Every structure is written in structure tokens, then in C-alpha cells.
Amino acid sequence: MKAQRLRFRYRVTSAAGDLSNRDLVRVWETAVAAAGYALSYSEGRRRLAQVALAAPLPLGVTSGGEIADIYLEQPGDPAQALKSVAAHLPPGIEALHVSEMGIDGPSLQSQLRRAEYEVAVPPGLANPEEIKRRIDGLLAADTLPSEYARATKLKSYDLRPLILGLEVATTPEATIIRMRLRAEQDRTARADQVLLALGIDASAARIHRVRLEVDKVSAALQAHRRAGEPTGSHLD
């Protein structure tokens, strides 16, 4: 039974860079239980913890803005939950903020819209001028035919409409590529895919997800949607 939904924003550092998406779910499940909270579980033969992560974080990628929705069987004070759960998270996972969300509101994954990344490209891979030239060419393209592997099949898609913005800056240590990418359920791009399109070896770069952006749906709009009433607005 779901009595409360808490949305945690958290940081993932290099100390937890080898954790998979499934590992992160277990991390939250363990920390919530250790903090003394009753986590909600799905019904049926295979009971699953009601922990929803906004988007998979690729192995080796750090982040300063991940989001997790935690469903509890009994309501509690969000501020105390943040303090208590944070104390039981392992090294590399740092809870930053919590807010209470409506139980019947849209799922976290359906609200996700965009992701921002900072990619540090070390000297030697490509000079800043060359990276800027490649970025200009990529942004000028009408289409970017690409492929990704799913199970044993290759899926074809157009990467270009998934790229919302690219910028480049330089520091003494590296060239920094800032990316703003779509991260919707059926329209999403990853930083390593963009690096591939730029001809840059992703394994040699340091990828950091700065933040995830979600729709902010008002309580009134949620009520209209639940009632099936017209709202007079739509999502682009």
C-alpha cells in the first residue's frame, strides 16, 4: 500500500561509478529500510520495491542531479526522512533534497524531459578548435542517422532532434563540452552517443550529468487529468 511518495534528488560521485541502475535501486531500498521506514512493495508473486529512478545512469558516469521517487507504506516527515536515509547511503551516493509528491501524480519517468551533461575531453583527443568545428557541423545537420544495440538487435534512429544544445569551453586541464539533450521515455539521447557523432572516444572522456529536468505539473492540472476533464493546455 502506498501512503506517501518522496522525491529525492541525489549526487553520484566516482566512488559509486560502478553501480548499475539495478544496484542503485537496491541502494535506496536498503537505506530506506535501515533508516526505519516501511518501503512499499508491489503485490504479486515477485514483490518489487517501489523505487523509481528518473533515468538510467551509464556505468562510469557521475552526476550532480539524479532523481528517485520512493513510495512508503506509512507517511513521515520529509525533512527527517532526508536526514535519516542519507545517513545510510553508501559512499558515492549523497542525498541532497527531498520533496513530497502526490501518490496519484504522473510517474517520474513520464515527467522527465531533458538532461544536461558536462563532458571533459583531455588534451590529445582533439583540440578545442577542431571540437568547435565538429559541433558546428553537427548542429547544422538536418539529420544524424545513428544506431544503438538493444539485446541482439540494432535499432536505427535520428540523433539530431534529440540534441537541444551544445557548447564548448576550455580549461587548462581539458576541453569541456556542455550538452542539453532530450530525455523523454521514447525520445532520449546519451552523452556517449553524441561523442560518437563528434568522432570523440567516449571511454577517454569524463562524463558528468549535471541535472535532469522534469515537468512541474500543478495539483490543479493533476486533478483535471485524473477526472478526464479538458485542461486548455498541452505539452509540446
Residue 236 pLDDT greater than 60, yes or no = no
Q: What span, in angstroms and rounded, lies between the C-alpha atoms of 226 and 92?
A: 38
Q: Is 60 exceeded by the pLDDT of residue 173?
A: yes
Same fold, 4-103 and 112-214: yes
- Choices 3.30.70.580, 3.20.19.10, 3.65.10.10, 3.10.129.10: CATH for 4-103: 3.30.70.580
Kindly report, residue by residue over 221-233, the tens digit of the pLDDT.
444 444 443 333 2
Q: Are strands 51-53 and 62-72 parallel, antiparallel or unpaired?
A: antiparallel
Specify the pairing of strand 62-72 against strand 206-214: parallel
At 103-146, the pLDDT tens digits run: 989 999 999 999 999 999 998 888 899 999 999 999 999 999 99
| Distance between CA atoms of residues 57 and 115, nearest Å | 11
Distance CA 143, CA 163 (A): 11
Q: For 42-62, write each residue's pLDDT tens digit.
A: 887 788 899 999 999 999 999
Q: What is the DSSP string of 85-126?
A: HHTTSPTTEEEEEEEEE-TTSPPHHHHEEEEEEEEEE-TTT-
What residue ranges in the chain does DSSP mark as E strands? 4-12, 51-53, 62-72, 93-101, 112-121, 145-150, 153-158, 163-170, 175-182, 206-214
CATH code for the structural domain at 112-214: 3.30.70.3190
Q: Where are the domains of the chain?
A: 4-103, 112-214
Q: Count Cβ neighbours within 10 Å for each residue of 192-203 and write b for 16 or more, e otherwise.
A: bbbbbbbebebe
Q: What was the pLDDT predicted at 75?
A: 94
Q: Number of helices (H) and strands (E), helices first, in the chain?
A: 6, 10
Q: How far apart are CA 138 and CA 5, in angstroms?
A: 41
* pLDDT greater than 80 at residue 177: yes
Q: Helix 78-86 and helix 21-34: axis angle, to 10°?
A: 110
Question: Taking a C-beta distance cutoff of 8 angstroms, is the pair 88, 27 a contact?
Answer: no
- Output the pTM of the full model: 0.87
* Residues 178-220 pLDDT 10s: 999 999 988 999 999 999 999 999 999 999 999 999 987 544 4
Residue 19, C-alpha cell as written in the block? 553501480
- The chain-wide mean pLDDT, for the chain, equals 89
pLDDT band, residue 4 (cuts 50/70/90)? very high
pLDDT tens per residue across span 63-116: 999 999 999 999 999 999 999 999 999 999 999 999 999 898 999 999 999 999
